[in-house]
Structure 1
Amino acid sequence: MPEQTMLKKYAELALKCGVNLQENQMLVVNSSIEGAPFARMVVKIAYEMGAKTVHINWSDDTLDRLWYENAAQEVLENVPEWRVKMFDHFAEEGAAILSIRSTNPDLLKGIESSRISASNKAAGDAMKNFRKYTMNDKITWSIVAIPNGEWAKKIFPETSEAKAIEQLWEQIFKITRVDQEDPVEAWNKHNATLSKAKDVLNDHKYKKLIYKAPGTDLTIELPEGHIWKGGSSPSEKGIEFNANMPTEEVFTLPHKYGVNGTVSSTKPLSYGGNLINNFSLTFKEGKVVDFSAEEGQETLENLLNMDEGARRLGEIAIVPHESPISQSGLIFFNTLYDENASCHLALGKAYPSSVKGGAAMDDDALDANGVNNSITHVDFMMGSGELDIDGVKEDGSTEAIFRNGNWAINVK
């Protein structure tokens, strides 16, 4: 374990900049049992900050694996009503939700993919109401990560497990700015930088984006009234929070019926305890009509068949190749980190707040405005140092946004 001083700075950052915990507010912490020492530190600091109460939801990779191996199919296909009501209660109480992720990328390797898909679909259906609170920024929520042996060894296979965990902690502290003297102030400055970038993109009001790279030739139409976001966001009560730590992206949503062409992945996607690698998707009028993967073909197929919306895009995110995570030269096999090293897209549900008035729209209005709906939302990485992006303006003129993986317009 790293020094207690660094762990405390990380915990404070997650509470102050991540969920931005308020006095007399409930905090919900989702954590693996391997992260118990860090979770306990988070709870202690939360109470010192004036938390009303803290609820912990524990998980265990070993037990999760055993469940997928042995549970009856009917169990996999259903989520207990008490669990749904529990999370709905947290949301209705205005709780801050902090998830401490520490997952083995190969956790469910060898498990029949249809069993994993059944469980994911059941969870997606059951948690629809709770997801409205998070994806519409009605409450504050954040995700951070801590190492475990399997994950660390996946990134650093040539060293011992203990050394690999130590190296991963070092990377996490650097990438999340915990190694700086005042991480909170460092994040305030970082959020200001991302805010400038999103303001520039909002001012340009592009109608389309054109992506070109090896294996990628994709045109994405943007809905009228789309909003670029990035860095911290305000909740419904006006509390600024960072949903992902780290984050290096500015993002918006595509028009669900306006995506055409082919896109190829540039990093492995860890999904449902399995890896999908070297895959490509071909879109026609917004829908995936063809796909292939060198690794994880069946897992990809199950993801795309989750529901109708899973074959359409819900997010487009721009991340420069010169971002700190990309420059580390590491593949993290963890979407929270890899998506912030690379431009990425997301299959599935769009964030309604990424279009003007979207948070107040019903499903029919969202569809009419080109906003995708789904029970899933899965980011995949497709950026590299060879990616070019052009923006098509309202008058039909085109300008370079990205060249060779980095900004070609001034976003400062």
Structure 2
Amino acid sequence: MDFEEKLNNFAELSIKVGINLQKGQRLLIRAPIETAEYVRKLVDVAYKAGSPLVEVVWSDDKNIISRFNYATNNSFDMVSVMERDALEKIVDEGGATIKVYASDPELFKDVDQEKLARLIKKGQAESQAVSARIGASEISWLVVSAATPAWAAKVFPNLNPEEQKAKLWDAIFKATRSDLQDPVGAWKDH
């Protein structure tokens, strides 16, 4: 089985088992731009499963660091409400959401920690209500990861970058049973 087949299987598992997307259900995907290949597969599978609308909110580690490097001090007392508003709409309509957690594990290592603390505090305050609703399982939700260069380097530091990412994908595929011919069936039999 080649990489493309395993990635398709992983997307199918995420949609059909992970969030059990139902026909007519909207889907919101939040993901780092580095995971675009996987997210595009999620979008395809979701539409094939009958979702009338799949929306993607991208994040970009480089843009986040630019904020810490160049934004004015009061920037860290503000958060974008775009993602929160999208989540509220999905919850209100009984949709589903997937968070692809794959940002650089060292992303905030060299940033001003006081600014980071302010930003986190503000973000938590702004999203508290919708987060509570998601946590109470008012909608189907899934947190999943994908192989990115930063995570692959962290997990497999002794390999070259190309091998690192391939090895991390292999580990993800094995752990999720995406490397099997019928991964959805394998999960249901589990």
TM-score, normalising length: structure 2 = 0.93
1:214-225 superposed matches below 5 A = none
Alignment-derived partner of residue 76 in structure 1: 76
Q: Which has the higher contact order (CA 8 A, sep 6+)?
A: 2
Deviation at 1:87, TM superposition (A): 2.2
Point out the more displaced range, 162-171 or 102-111: 102-111
2:163 paired with 1:146:
no
Alignment-derived partner of residue 118 in structure 2: 118
1:6-405 superposed matches below 5 A = 6-190=6-190
Q: Kindly provide the amino acid, as one letter, of the partner of residue 52 in structure 1.
A: P
Deviation at 1:181, TM superposition (A): 2.9
RMSD over aligned Cα atoms: 1.5
Distance across 2 between alignment mates of 1:112 and 1:55: 32
Deviation at 1:159, TM superposition (A): 1.2
Partners of 2:57 and 2:83 within 8 A in 1? no
Higher helix fraction: Structure 1 or Structure 2? Answer: 2
Deviation at 1:167, TM superposition (A): 0.6
Distance across 1 between alignment mates of 2:154 and 2:37: 23
Deviation at 1:82, TM superposition (A): 4.8
Deviation at 1:10, TM superposition (A): 0.3
Deviation at 1:184, TM superposition (A): 1.7
Deviations 1:205-232 (A, max 9, x none): xxxxxxxxxxxxxxxxxxxxxxxxxxxx
Q: Which secondary structure state, in structure 2, belongs to the residue aligned with residue 129 of structure 1?
A: helix
Q: Which secondary structure state, in structure 2, belongs to the residue aligned with residue 30 of structure 1?
A: strand
Distance across 1 between alignment mates of 2:84 and 2:28: 14
Q: Kindly provide the amino acid, as one letter, of the partner of residue 168 in structure 1.
A: L
Deviation at 1:94, TM superposition (A): 1.3
Gaps of 5+ in 2: none
Q: Which secondary structure state, in structure 2, belongs to the residue aligned with residue 127 of structure 1?
A: helix
Distance across 1 between alignment mates of 2:100 and 2:138: 20
Deviations 1:149-190 (A, max 9, x none): 121111111110000101101101111121233222222243
Alignment-derived partner of residue 399 in structure 1: none
What's the % identity of the aligned pairs?
A: 29
Distance across 1 between alignment mates of 2:122 and 2:164: 35
Distance across 2 between alignment mates of 1:54 and 1:130: 19
Q: Which secondary structure state, in structure 2, belongs to the residue aligned with residue 102 of structure 1?
A: coil
Q: Which secondary structure state, in structure 2, belongs to the residue aligned with residue 10 of structure 1?
A: helix
Deviation at 1:81, TM superposition (A): 4.4
Distance across 2 between alignment mates of 1:126 and 1:87: 12
Deviation at 1:85, TM superposition (A): 2.8
Distance across 2 between alignment mates of 1:174 and 1:139: 28
User: Paired residues, what number?
Assistant: 189
Q: Kindly provide the amino acid, as one letter, of the partner of residue 57 in structure 1.
A: V
Q: Which secondary structure state, in structure 1, belongs to the residue aligned with residue 14 of structure 2?
A: helix
Distance across 2 between alignment mates of 1:18 and 1:5: 18
Deviation at 1:111, TM superposition (A): 0.7
Q: Which secondary structure state, in structure 2, belongs to the residue aligned with residue 37 of structure 1?
A: helix
Structure 1 ranges of 4+ moved more than 4 A: none
Q: Kindly provide the amino acid, as one letter, of the partner of residue 165 in structure 1.
A: K
Deviations 1:358-410 (A, max 9, x none): xxxxxxxxxxxxxxxxxxxxxxxxxxxxxxxxxxxxxxxxxxxxxxxxxxxxx
Q: Kindly provide the amino acid, as one letter, of the partner of residue 140 in structure 1.
A: S
Q: Kindly provide the amino acid, as one letter, of the partner of residue 171 in structure 2.
A: Q
Deviations 1:224-273 (A, max 9, x none): xxxxxxxxxxxxxxxxxxxxxxxxxxxxxxxxxxxxxxxxxxxxxxxxxx
If you compute each CA radius of gyration, which structure gives the higher value, 1 or 2? 1
Deviation at 1:47, TM superposition (A): 0.7
Distance across 2 between alignment mates of 1:172 and 1:157: 17
TM-score, normalising length: structure 1 = 0.44
Q: Which secondary structure state, in structure 2, belongs to the residue aligned with residue 99 of structure 1?
A: strand
Distance across 1 between alignment mates of 2:156 and 2:87: 36
Distance across 2 between alignment mates of 1:12 and 1:145: 14
Distance across 2 between alignment mates of 1:42 and 1:135: 22
Q: Kindly provide the amino acid, as one letter, of the partner of residue 21 in structure 2.
A: L
Deviations 1:191-217 (A, max 9, x none): xxxxxxxxxxxxxxxxxxxxxxxxxxx
Deviations 1:108-142 (A, max 9, x none): 11111111111111110000111122110110000
Q: Which secondary structure state, in structure 1, belongs to the residue aligned with residue 75 of structure 2?
A: helix
Alignment-derived partner of residue 249 in structure 1: none
